[in-house]
Amino acid sequence: MIGWLVIVVSAAHGLDLDEARASAAARAIEIHRQQALIDRARATDLAAIAVSLPQIGGFAQATMSAGPNPFGRFTSRQAQVGVSGSWRLIDPGAWGAAAAARSSLRGERALLDWSRALARRDATVRFAEAVAAVEVADALRMIEEDALRAAEGIRSLSSAGLRPASDAARADAAAASLTADRVAAEGEVGATCAALQVQLGPPIDGHCDLVAPATWPEPASTDVRHPALRAADAALQAARRTHTASIASSAPVIVGTASAAQNLGTAVVGDDTEQARDLSGLSLSAGVRADLPLLGSGSGAARVRQTAADRAAAEIGLDEQERLLASGRVAAEARYAASLSALDAGRAALRATREALGLVDERYQQGLAGLTDLLDARRARDEALVGLARAGAAHGRALAELEANRGIID
C-alpha cells in the first residue's frame, strides 16, 4: 500500500463530523476574513459617531500687528495659550451617516454568521467526500483481493480439467484490471483529505484519521432568519440611511463654540511706549454658529442621485437574495430526499448483488454457468459496493446544502 495514505475510518482517535464542523467554524479562512471586516466596520461606526461628539483642542499663537488708527499708528504684540471646543448641536447629515454606519456593522455581523454557515457546509461536504474516498478504497482493495482468490480457484479448476484454460486467463486479467482502480482510489483518499484540511487549517499534508458516522444526522432547522437575508436587509437599511444623509447634508448645521485663552502682550499707539496698554489676562468666548450651504458645484445633487441608485440596487439585492434562498431551499430539500432514496436503493442493490453472486458462483462451480456470468455478477456486486460508498458522499453533500439553505450556523 502507498505509505502516506494513513486515513483510517476508526472509532478510537479519529475526527468525527461534529469535530470537523467545529474546527472549520473556528479556523476557516473566510471566517477570519469576515471578522477583520467587522473590525473595520466597527471603526467606521465609531468614526461616524465621533463627528457628532464635542471636539476639544488646545492652541498657542503669537501675533504682531500694526496699522493706522484715528489716534496714530497702532502696534500690538500678543501671545495666547488656551483651549477651544465645538459641538455640532444639530447636524442631520452626520446623524444619517452614523445610522448608516450602524446598519453596515449589523450587515457585517450577519455576513459573519453566513460565513459560519458556509464553513459548516464546506466542512460537511469535504468530510463526507473523505470518508467516502476511504470506503471506496477499502472496497476496491477487498474487491481486488476477492478477485485474486477467485482467479486462483479458477486456475485450480482449469488445472484439473474442469474448466477451459481461457477461463483462468480471463479471471487473471479481470483481477489485474482492478489494481489500477485501487491505486487511483488510494490517491483520491489523500486528495480528499487535503481538501478537508483546507477547511480545518494546518497542517495540510493529506493525512487524516476520520470516524465515519454510523448514521448521518438529521438536517437541523432553526427559526432564526437566514443570515444572508439579514445581511441583505442591513445593506438596504444602510443604503436608505445614506440616501437620507445625502439629502440632509443640505440642511443647516448648528455648531456651538467656546474658547478660553490666557493672553500676554501690549498695544502701543504711535511712538509713546510709555503709555503701552497691557493686553494680558484671561479671555473667554462662546457662541452658536449656523452653517448653510447656499451655492455649490452640484456635487451634493449628484451625491443624492448616486445614493438613490444605491438604495434601488440594495432593494433589488434583497429581493434577489430572497428568491435565491427560496429556490435553493426547494432544490436542497429535493436533493436530500433523493439522497435518502439513493442510500436505501444502494443498500438493497448491494444485498441483491451479493446474493446473486453467491448463486452464480455456486452454479459456476457446478459447471452450470459460464465465466461471463460469474464475471458479470461479480462486477455488479463490485459496482454496488462502490456505489453505496459514493451515495454516502452524495447524502453528506445534500445534508450540507440543505442546512446551509436553512441558515444553520452551529
Give me the residue spans of the domains in the chain: 8-52+92-248+303-406, 54-90+253-291
Confidence of residue 295 (pLDDT cuts 50, 70, 90): low
| Residues 136 and 341: beta-carbon distance below 8 Å | no
Roughly how many angstroms between the first and final C-alpha of the chain, as a whole number? 38
Q: Is 59's pLDDT higher than 80?
A: yes
At 8-46, the pLDDT tens digits run 444 446 889 999 999 998 888 899 999 999 999 999 889
pLDDT bracket for residue 201 (50, 70, 90): confident
Q: For the chain, what percent of residues have pLDDT higher than 70?
A: 92
Q: What percent of the chain has pLDDT over 90?
A: 44
Q: What angle do CA 213, 214, 218 make, to 5 degrees?
A: 75
Residue 315 has a pLDDT of 95
- From CA 15, how far away is CA 207, in angstroms rounded? 12
Amino acid residing at 36: A
pLDDT for position 249: 83
Q: What is the pTM of this model?
A: 0.79
63 close to 7: Cβ distance less than 8 angstroms: no
Grid coordinates belonging to 170: 480471463
pLDDT tens readout for residues 104-139? 999 999 999 999 999 999 999 999 999 999 999 999
Task: Work out the average pLDDT over 171-194.
Answer: 87
Residues 134 and 38 sit within 8 Å (Cβ to Cβ)? no
Q: Which CATH superfamily is domain 8-52+92-248+303-406 in?
A: Outer membrane efflux proteins (OEP) (1.20.1600.10)
What digits encode the pLDDT tens for the residues 63-87? 877 766 665 666 778 888 989 888 8
**8 Å CB contact between 20 and 123:** yes
Q: Which residues contact 98 (CB under 8 A, 6 or more apart)?
A: 45, 48, 49, 51, 52
- Number of C-alpha atoms within 13 angstroms, CB side, residue 403? 24
For 334, which DSSP code?
Answer: H
Name the residue with higher pLDDT: 2 or 52.
52
**Per-residue pLDDT averaged across 221-241, rounded?**
94
Of residues 336 and 263, the one with the higher pLDDT is 336
pLDDT over 90 at 406, yes or no: yes
* Distance in angstroms (rounded) separating the CA atoms of residues 170 and 376: 12
Q: Is the pLDDT of residue 242 over 80?
A: yes
Chain position carrying cell 476520520:
210
Identify the CATH assignment for 54-90+253-291 out of 1.20.120, 2.20.70, 2.20.200, 1.10.10: 2.20.200
Q: Residue 341: its pLDDT value, please?
A: 96
Identify the pLDDT of residue 191: 93
In the three-class reduction of DSSP (H, G, I as helix; E, B as strand; rest coil), residue 187 is classed as: helix
pLDDT in tens, 135-147: 999 999 988 888 8
> In angstroms, rounded to a whole number, what is the distance separating the alpha carbons of residues 176 and 102?
66
Task: Judge whether residue 2 has pLDDT over 50.
Answer: no
> Confidence band (pLDDT; 50, 70, 90) for 361?
confident
Residues 52-73 have a mean pLDDT of 78
Q: Is the pLDDT assigned to residue 346 strictly greater than 50?
A: yes
Query: What DSSP element (H or E) covers 345?
Result: helix 299-365
Q: In sequence order, which ranges of 160-257 are alpha helices (DSSP H)?
A: 165-200, 227-248
Calculate mean pLDDT across residues 280-291.
Answer: 86
Question: Across the chain, what does the average pLDDT equal?
Answer: 86
Asked whether the predicted pLDDT for residue 299 surpasses 80, the reply is: no
